[in-house]
Structure 1
Amino acid sequence: MDDTLAQLRAGRLAGAKRIDLSCGLTEFPRELFDLADSLEVLNLSGNALDTLPDDLNRLHRLRVLFCSDNRFTTLPESIGRCHDLDIVGFKANQIRTVPAASLPASLRWLILTDNQIEELPDSLGECTRMQKLMLAGNRLRALPQSMTVLKQLELLRISANRFETLPAWLPSLPRLSWLACAGNPFDTQAEDAAITAQSVPHIDWRELALGRKLGEGASGVIHQAALGKAQQVAVKLFKGAVTSDGWPHSEMAACIAAGVHPTLIAAQSRIDGHPEGTEGLVMGLVDPSFVTLAGPPSLASCTRDVYAEEARWTPNVALRIARDIASAMQHLHARGILHGDLYAHNILWHAQRGGRLGDFGAAWMTGALDAAQTRAFQALEMRAFGCLLEELLERCTNAVPASVTTLKDRCLQPDAAARPTFAQALSLLQQASSSP
């Protein structure tokens, strides 16, 4: 028996604000109701649950509920009666049905990734606090028209679904900044073309000698490796399963299509001949003196990255990072690629050498869109860049030129059509950097 469950049943967790239980549960432990006056975060992921109690709302202080990797086929309606829930996560179940009554209007962050959902209820539009909506890996062909009122929505993941076209109203959402759409029928032709094109050379697996692991994400594992006798590179081996951003296959396609750019961490070669058939890419090895700009969003920050308390830099360093990322994004947009995840946690930086943008897990291609649609969706990424600029400027040790603050405000304005392009932003940043 899980030690936490044993302590719960023995009454030794009085006053607990968070409970994590992953021990093969098939029934909801009723002893949790003894914590009704304190419990705020309940994590029941990794069990064998398929129902929740009808009186779940007795947990009247509950703000966060995670039930991922269970056996739910329907999102329980009892969740909808928990009127103060902030975050709900039911990733990797077998959910086919989302009843209208299952969604409390209080929701700010909803995770339904990797299920079997074909349709969402109109009641989703009543969740007007919604900032983050994660729906990748389902069977959706459309989104409820009621979502047009979700003016706080900033991050949307609808990759690996069945969209033939994208909802025309998406660019009108005033705060939408991070959108992932790859792996849908409208996008797959461009992905397949990128995968099959000889836009990067192919490297035989036997030419690589894998070294230490540099990192691991939802889509794959990155190792340092030796290519031949002298060259040190980074190798990403993909896992193959759907992630919160979509299919790793889509990420590989975007990496290949991105080509080479000095401030972009993109693919140099595609790996052939892995003994287990694993797909992989060879990338340039970034100097270890580069470090990640920030950590990913927390439960509290929801859509905004978390910076170290000591994170500070001069205006020159901030402008160099901003210029480098704007340059990388201009390059991607020119190649018909949207990054989808323009965040500080996907940026490596160095005080003297600027910034490098990586992680194509949420990237998607605009080849199926007309010019007006492409510009509209590119404008969403300008808001993401505005958020990055805001974070960089907040941590500057001295004042930055007024023109940069004005640029930040233009990027963040609600009217997407009035935001600058990355070419315009880069020009303004270069002017600000050269001013005395």
Structure 2
Amino acid sequence: MNTLAQLRAGHLTGITRLDLAAGLTEFPREIFDLADSLEILNLSGNALSQLPDDLHRLGKLRILFCSDNQFTELPECLGQCAQLTMVGFKANRITTVSGAALPPLLRWLILTDNRIDQLPTELGERPYLQKLMLAGNRLAALPPSLAQCHRLELIRIAANRLTELPQWLLTLPSLTWLAYAGNPLETEADASALAATPTIAWRQLALEQSLGEGASGVIYRAQWQALNTAPETVAVKLYKGEMTSDGSPLHEMNACITAGLHPNLIPIKGRIVDHPQQQAGLVMQLIEPSYRNLAGLPSLASCSRDVYADDTRFSADIALRLARGIASVGAHLHRQGITHGDLYGHNILWNDHGDCLLGDFGAASFHATDDTPQTRALQRLEVRAFGVLLGELLDRIDTGLSPEQRAALTELQQRCCQADVLARPAFSEIESLLKG
């Protein structure tokens, strides 16, 4: 984190990224002294409500973060920034987004947790738009012009006021990761599954060290001492309760419970009750330390693609076992009326034997279990996510794959990612092909 004193003293000359959180109520004009080099500007966590009209003077600016401020409208000066591709204004008070505020090269827009009830037609006139984060607003409709955004791969519209998913949305050729939970349009979670989940009293749990933290909550190692039983080492996830980029953490908890049992899911032991702050939480099986994340989160540069370590390589047997496991759990979730919404390598835990577990249901949504065109389309969007994953695995197979096997898997990968959504195979077919 940089300081205002460093900026004003001229000590930051030549930097390409500036991170400044200092209770700012006005944009420091000294930032313009960095115009020859500045590419990333992070002003999140201040008290700003305006940006200067001449912001375009930062001619190399590509990425701007202004989350957790006090903006009530998306500043129109952004539209004059010729090189700006990523804009983040999460958790402000924005009600108004005009077309003039959208830069021409816009690729990634984050407006999560605001008060927006309408988006401009011009949003669909940004041909490079790839990632669109709109969860936690007041949208009752999306601009039909978004049907032109053939590069759009990820959209988060959870926790809005949508009564239907527009048909054009489900035909977008590149759409891969969709989250829409918490809208009136969503099918309700299976009440019987939620009611049948055991409850675990908070007093029976003793938290130990933190195992990790995500947008929706914190996971701890813990001891569970149930009545008249020996202590059991478990994992406890406590949900934060606030809006995330994917949607509501409580929807995530419901999806985890409704998903049920599958060899490639982390078993749920129960739902926490009687927390002193009424915090929601789940008790889960503790995963062996031999499991680790398959990939890293997408970077600012990769946008919607996971980042793999340079030395990540698989044998054919391991890669195919991973692919079979994820296809199997994908089919299982779809039978339960759940789309995961975030089927990515970074949400998959794996070990050296090729065993894998799909986690992080923060973007999960419920859909009807009837076989309808809409249900099939929602499921085939997720199949494209599997196709992306399969391609990433194929790119990293070093040994054991014959030319014929590679050709067959490449053909399957291409079928999963083809532009015609309903022509993609279902997970049940993918399972059969991978077993053959």
TM-score bracket, normalised by the shorter chain, equals over 0.9
- Mapping for residues 31-42 of structure 1, pairs under 5 Å: 31-42=30-41
1:371 matched to 2:372: yes
> Size of the alignment, in residue pairs?
428
| Aligned residue among 404, 417, 430 for 1:425 | 430
Residue in 1 aligned with 2:200?
Answer: 203
Q: Distance in 2 between matches of 1:142 and 1:109?
A: 20
Question: Do structure 1's residue 396 and structure 2's residue 397 form an aligned pair?
Answer: yes
**Alpha-carbon deviation of 1:204?**
1.7
2:235 aligned with 1:225: no
Paired with 1:363 and 1:141, the residues of 2 have a C-alpha distance of: 20
Alignment of 1:322-401 (within 5 A): 322-367=323-368, 371-398=372-399, 399=401, 401=405
Q: In the superposition, relative to structure 1, how do residues 352 and 247 fare at CA in structure 2: closer, same or farther (>3 Å)?
A: same
1:81 and 2:80 equivalent? yes
**1:234 aligns to what SS in structure 2?**
strand
1:231-380 alignment to 2 at 5 Å?
231-367=232-368, 371-380=372-381
Aligned to 1:9: 8
Stretch moving more, 394-403 or 303-312: 394-403
**1:99: how far off?**
1.0
Aligned partner letter, 2:374: Q
C-alpha distance in 1 between matches for 2:415 and 2:7 = 52
Report the Cα offset of residue 371 of structure 1.
1.9
The answer to whether the 8 A contact 2:294-2:345 is kept is: yes
Contact residue 334 and residue 379 of structure 2 kept, 8 A = yes
Q: Which amino acid in 2 is paired with 1:340? A: G
Match of 1:434 in 2: none
Give the SS at the match of 1:136: coil
Tell me if the contact between 1:77 and 1:103 (Cα under 8 Å) persists in the aligned partners: yes
Give the secondary-structure state (helix, strand or coil) at the position aligned to 2:3: helix
CA contact (8 A) 1:183 1:247 kept: yes
Question: Secondary structure at the residue paired with 1:277?
Answer: coil
Contact 2:337-2:369 within 8 A present in 1 as well: no
Residues 325 and 196 of structure 1: is their aligned pair in 2 closer, same or farther, counting only changes over 3 Å?
Answer: closer
**Contact kept in structure 2, 1:404 and 1:428, CA below 8 Å:** no
CA distance in 2, matches of 1:307, 1:350: 15
Tell me the TM-score normalized by structure 2: 0.95
- Distance in 1, matches of 2:192 and 2:210, equals 25
How far apart, in 2, do the equivalents of 1:422 and 1:406 lie? Answer: 15
- Which residue pairs with 2:92 in the alignment? 93
User: Deviation per CA, 1:178-232, whole angstroms, max 9, x where unpaired?
Assistant: 0000011122x613x5488323222222222222111111111111122223422
2:213 pairs with 1:216: yes
Q: Which residue of 1 aligns with 2:151?
A: 152
Greater Cα shift, 277-286 or 382-391? 277-286
2:162–2:184 Cα contact (<8 Å) kept: yes
Contact 2:2–2:18 under 8 Å retained in 1: no
Q: CA deviation at 1:369?
A: 7.7
**Structure 1, gaps ≥5 residues long:** 432-436
Which amino acid is the alignment partner of residue 131 of structure 1? Q
Do 1:57 and 1:81's aligned partners in 2 also have CA atoms closer than 8 Å? yes
The alignment partner of 1:71 has SS state of coil
Q: Counterparts of 2:22 and 2:397 in 1: how far apart (Å)? A: 47
Opposite residue 40 of structure 2, the aligned amino acid is: V
2:256–2:361: 8 Å Cα contact kept in structure 1?
A: yes
Deviation at 1:357, TM superposition (A): 0.4
Contact 1:321–1:354 (CA under 8 A) maintained in structure 2: yes
RMSD over aligned Cα, in angstroms?
Answer: 1.5
Q: Which residue of 2 aligns with 1:47?
A: 46
TM-score by structure 1 length? 0.95
CA contact (8 A) 1:194 1:254 kept: no
Question: Match of 2:196, as an amino acid?
Answer: S
Q: Secondary structure at the match of 2:79?
A: helix
Task: Work out which of the residue numbers 170, 188, 195 in structure 2 matches 1:190.
Answer: 188
Residue 314 of structure 1 and its aligned partner are, at CA, apart by: 0.3
Q: Report the AA paired with residue 77 of structure 1.
A: E
Amino acid at match of 2:12: L
Q: Deviations over 1:243-272 (max 9, x none)?
A: 001001110111111001111125331111
The verdict on how the C-alpha distance between 1:195 and 1:245 changes in structure 2, with shifts beyond 3 A counting, is: farther
| AA of the residue aligned to 2:86 | I
Q: Secondary structure at the match of 1:169?
A: helix
Q: In 2 relative to 1, CA 87–100 (structure 1 residues): closer, same or farther, beyond 3 Å? A: same
Query: Given the superposition, is the C-alpha separation of residues 105 and 355 from structure 1 closer, same or farther in structure 2, using an over 3 Å criterion?
Result: same
SS at match of 2:350: strand
- Note if 1:179 corresponds to 2:178: yes
Q: Distance in 2 between matches of 1:336 and 1:133?
A: 24
The equivalent of 2:125 in structure 1 is 126
Identity %: 59
> 1:322 and 1:122, CA in 2 relative to 1: closer, same or farther beyond 3 A?
same
- 1:282-311 deviation line (CA, Å, top 9, x unaligned): 112111101100110000000000011111
* Separation (CA, whole Å) in 1 of partners of 2:29 and 2:268: 51
Indicate how the Cα distance of structure 1 residues 370 and 397 shifts in structure 2: closer, same or farther if over 3 A, else same. closer
CA distance in 2, matches of 1:276, 1:111: 30
What residue is the counterpart of 1:162 in the other structure?
Answer: 161
Q: Is the 8 A contact 2:194 2:254 kept in 1?
A: no
**Secondary structure, in 3 states, of the residue corresponding to 1:46?**
coil
**Range with bigger deviation, 397-406 or 45-54:** 397-406
Letter of the aligned partner of 1:245 in structure 2?
A: D
Q: Which moved more, 1:108-117 or 1:265-274?
A: 265-274
Query: What corresponds to 1:111 in structure 2?
Result: 110
